[in-house]
Structure 1
């Protein structure tokens, strides 16, 4: 894997070099308007005869009520839908995507992904038209990432110069600019030859002082070390050049740093045959993190960026990610939590991730038992997002 290609894939917007990124993200305005108008939540629906994933396993058959967009308490007067013993999961959460249009949101929703954490978008406001559309995936974004001078993304025509950080003295200004653009979290590109330790640390501290979570892009062992030293909240990707060691995994735990391995993407890049990069290293790294007790979140790096050799498909790739996490040592229950309760807690989205009264009615009905076989998550029957049935 070429590091420059990786960076360009991870943060260049579709057709950004041609200067069409804004249009890609914000264009079909009419389609967005139609989507907002046609998806009205049913007042009250009672899903009967469902087995609920409660974070530990499956319950016996019971009733779950959708009451004006949230999980309700009483089924009295609700329209009843017999689900025939199917399994009801909390809406799935993909902790690493690169969304640019409604097509991506629709694909995510169709596969049961009801919340997606976008890990870079620019210029400012590119994703605003895609937020809050009833019945489509709820989208949060980092906005412009912090990058080093001379980095590949810093030279893109659409890349804001406010994202280029020369040294630690610019950390406060960078974070202030992202907050002014309503970024939900802060992203820092941590590369071997990129931002130095002092700058990564200053950016992390500036963001955390203002209550923002810090995401670090780190694809090598050296970059992971720098991110951990800075005290970031989450590290995205897992090295292909060498497995995460037991000592490094212990540092994740001590610092309460979550891991978003994006195994689906790592599998794809490892398959390109680049010398020195092997999927076995990524898989072993996740196994070490799991053994140490690190918090592991399911993220795919789903994207449709032209010119990049690996495009995990929106929605479907999250199911592959769950399978790869299980293959790396997580139990099926742990994998399901990695796409539900764990990211909800890690990203401070306390109104989702579990099926309980008062939470958003983000729900996925599947045919089969994903606790027995994680592949059952692929058999999506119906999806509700904020109480709105996706169609």
Structure 2
């Protein structure tokens, strides 16, 4: 779960006491966050020459891409030039499932080329708010507090809001309204064998839709996936570890336009704990079934530092592993790259990113190899831009 960052608050308190504005403190904080890296300001105009671009389908011949005041521009006149010598430019990666903690997690994401992070549980609301809109750091969205069942592990976390522990459908509307008031970008419900009851999940989904919010469902077994599909949620996170999704269930994803975020990295980790009934082959087989059915699959890692969770994928690095696992499960390298760029941007309504296109945010990842030929090439991070601010990872 995301927790508040006392160091960041102390920084702002000290900065403002010294007469620095909040905006100035943010800029200083972002620069200080990347000690050991070189950065360039968002206002710079930069022309990336001799760069090959992943356009969503193929990798182009060498061309010039302009970064201009935080966006992808078209005019290279007067720009500082960077000769990319044939390196490959990707849209910044989007992790569709993680659990933020503090500014340090954003720094780790940037270093690996993850420029957008979609948090799936974070409380209190001030913790997520503290990580929004920091210049040069990974851009975030958050579910805030998820709906859970009484007695669930989440409900017993210190400080967990009790209005999110749902005992019946009559609480759903107030739960959703509270999350919307707190600024949650979408609504999450954790579906486990023990609850919430199907009618409660359906009520949460209906309440969220009435307020224009998408619903994310946590489901790690065939039974809970069936419950999520029956409720009509927009997106199901994780895949079963008990047995692979049947062709019929996978086809229900496709027919209902339900998006899948398998989080294979987390599934692999839990299956490796030796817990009876958890088999990674089931997760891998589920992804293969979803692909055959034509369902939309997104890349998400479940990176976290949550106390008590035995599997904690590292922020940033785990995205590259997730891409590799998706390819091993049957996606092509092209499909895996889309799962981490254009598809999550479309699925979450982020219309200004996910592609290297004029007018889009300059969220970019320059890598040293060809990820269509070998997906592991995404690990060779040469440079990253977040909203036009350039980062060159330390050696």
One fold, TM greater than 0.5?
yes
Q: Decide whether aligned partners of structure 1 residues 210 and 390 sit closer, same or farther in structure 2, where only a CA change above 3 A counts.
A: same
Residue in structure 2 matched with residue 279 of structure 1 by the alignment: 280
Residue in structure 2 matched with residue 330 of structure 1 by the alignment: 331
* 2: CA distance, partners of 1:159 / 1:147: 10
* 2: CA distance, partners of 1:350 / 1:344: 6
Q: Give the structure-1-normalised TM-score.
A: 0.92
The yes-or-no answer on 1:105 pairing with 2:106 is yes
Q: Do 1:95 and 1:260's aligned partners in 2 also have CA atoms closer than 8 Å?
A: yes
Q: Do 1:70 and 1:360's aligned partners in 2 also have CA atoms closer than 8 Å?
A: yes
Q: Do 2:150 and 2:166's aligned partners in 1 also have CA atoms closer than 8 Å?
A: yes
Q: Do 2:264 and 2:325's aligned partners in 1 also have CA atoms closer than 8 Å?
A: yes
* 2: CA distance, partners of 1:324 / 1:28: 40
| Deviation of 1:40 (Å) | 3.2
Residue in structure 1 matched with residue 367 of structure 2 by the alignment: 366
Q: Do 1:25 and 1:127's aligned partners in 2 also have CA atoms closer than 8 Å?
A: no
Q: Do 2:4 and 2:102's aligned partners in 1 also have CA atoms closer than 8 Å?
A: no
Question: 1:1-391 counterparts in 2 under 5 A?
Answer: 12=1, 21-23=3-5, 27=9, 29-30=11-12, 33=26, 34-36=28-30, 40-391=41-392
* 1: CA distance, partners of 2:344 / 2:149: 28
Q: Do 1:265 and 1:300's aligned partners in 2 also have CA atoms closer than 8 Å?
A: yes
* 2: CA distance, partners of 1:81 / 1:150: 56
Could you tell me which runs of 5 or more consecutive residues in structure 2 were left unpaired when the two chains were aligned.
16-24, 33-39
Superposed CA offset, 1:98-131 (max 9, x none): 1111111101000000000000011122121111
| Deviation of 1:162 (Å) | 1.7
* 1: CA distance, partners of 2:256 / 2:180: 25
Task: Give the aligned CA root-mean-square deviation in angstroms.
Answer: 1.6
* 2: CA distance, partners of 1:109 / 1:184: 21
Q: Do 2:30 and 2:137's aligned partners in 1 also have CA atoms closer than 8 Å?
A: no
| Deviation of 1:24 (Å) | 6.0
| Deviation of 1:27 (Å) | 4.9
Q: Do 1:238 and 1:282's aligned partners in 2 also have CA atoms closer than 8 Å?
A: yes
User: How many residues end up aligned between the 2 structures?
Assistant: 373
